[in-house]
Amino acid sequence: PRQPAKTLWYDRPRYVFLEFCVEDSRDVQVSIEEQRLVFSCRNADGVQFYNDIELYARVNAKDSQEKRSDRSITCFIRKWKEKVAWPRITKENIKPSWLSVDFDNWRDWEGDEEVERAMVEQYAEV
């Protein structure tokens, strides 16, 4: 039996960030298409997680990355149209129970591009 991973997301001028909260993940697979993201993994207990998200808008799959940590897998997805705010992550205006806004990282964009660039560089180096 598969279950969706608890997912946090937030919006930035160039990227949207998605964090799949699975501790000690194994067999992580992330597939990013033009308007869809499919995530799957297992945790240490062998529970399978699977999320299939039809994205709000078109993205640039080639310039998107993910980073795994012990606590979660973070995907940063390059928007096709930069500086266009995403009111939500899903194409349909529904809120799945497993999806939440990451309010700790959600903030106004003003002067935010430097912060964003630093974050992406920091992720890329790891």
User: Is residue 118 pLDDT above 80, yes or no?
Assistant: no
pLDDT tens digits, one per residue of 51-105 = 999 999 999 999 999 999 999 999 999 999 999 999 999 999 999 999 999 988 8
SS3 content of the chain, % helix, strand, coil (to 5): 10, 45, 45
Burial class (CB in 10 A: 0-12, 13-18, 19+), 55: buried
d(CA 58, CA 46): 33
Higher pLDDT, 125 or 65: 65
Give the three-state DSSP class for 110.
Answer: coil
Q: Enumerate domains of the chain plus CATH numbers.
A: 2-125 (2.60.40.790)
pLDDT tens digits, one per residue of 6-41 = 999 999 999 999 999 999 999 999 999 999 999 999
- Torsions phi, psi for 56 (to 5 deg): -60, -40
Order the strands of the 26-32 sheet from edge to edge. Answer: 2-3, 48-54, 36-42, 26-32
